[in-house]
Amino acid sequence: MEKIHSQLAQHPQAVLFDAYGTLLDVYSVGLLAEQLFPGQGSTLSVLWRDKQIEYTRLVTTSNHGAHYQPFWELTRAGLRYACKRLKLVLSPEHEAQLMNQYRHLSAFPENKAVLQALKARGIVTGILSNGDPDMLGIAVRSAGLEGLLDHVISVDAVRLYKTAPEAYALGEQATGLKASQIAFVSCNSWDALAATWYGYPTLWVNRYQLPFEELGTQPTRTGSTLTDVLGFFESV
């Protein structure tokens, strides 16, 4: 059941989705990881994701972003670290296989229907992601979402990762709308929180029944699947 933290004065005119973890299942890579490293697939996928995000924060907050690297390279670095941490021998062949799988992550099953429903209502749709443009282009095509997204926005344009305000500002720049007119949807609680702080009305998609961040701010809405974004437009 969806929980609503506050009421909106008006319906958003656009919806921007996080990609990795929200439209795309970052842990689906664990299936291949399990085949390559029996008994370690799930652990590897979780540690890989955690290190990937840690690296985005490290390069963004150190020396004003002077150490920025594209998300693809941070993803590779995270994989290599995770394997070393778990004492797994990552051959060049296995690395190539896992990285290729990351390019083609499984999409959550409700994605297409939700985007189609938003388009039918005349709502502008898009992605605002840490992913670099090449990664996002392949992911969108692989997930069959071409034609359902008006904008595919990469933070690579500002060379700063979320949660930097400059990253969230890209949504306003791309759509020509104010943050208050754009719903932002993320399955990552830290992302939903930072987007709320920035000024977006937010939906946190709590797929895994986790507690929200304990920093005194709640998302505008909380749901369990992407379908809950349609609650922003119940009377449209």
Active site residues: 18
Please give the Cα distance from 101 to 205 (Å, whole number): 24
- The encoded tokens of residue 134 equal 């090449």
Where is 133: in which H helix or E strand?
helix 133-142
End-to-end CA distance of the chain: give it in Å, rounded.
21
Sign of CA dihedral 184, 19, 163, 151: negative
Sheet holding 202-205, edge to edge: 3-4, 221-223, 202-205, 182-186, 14-17, 124-129, 151-154
- The encoded tokens of residue 91 equal 């051959």
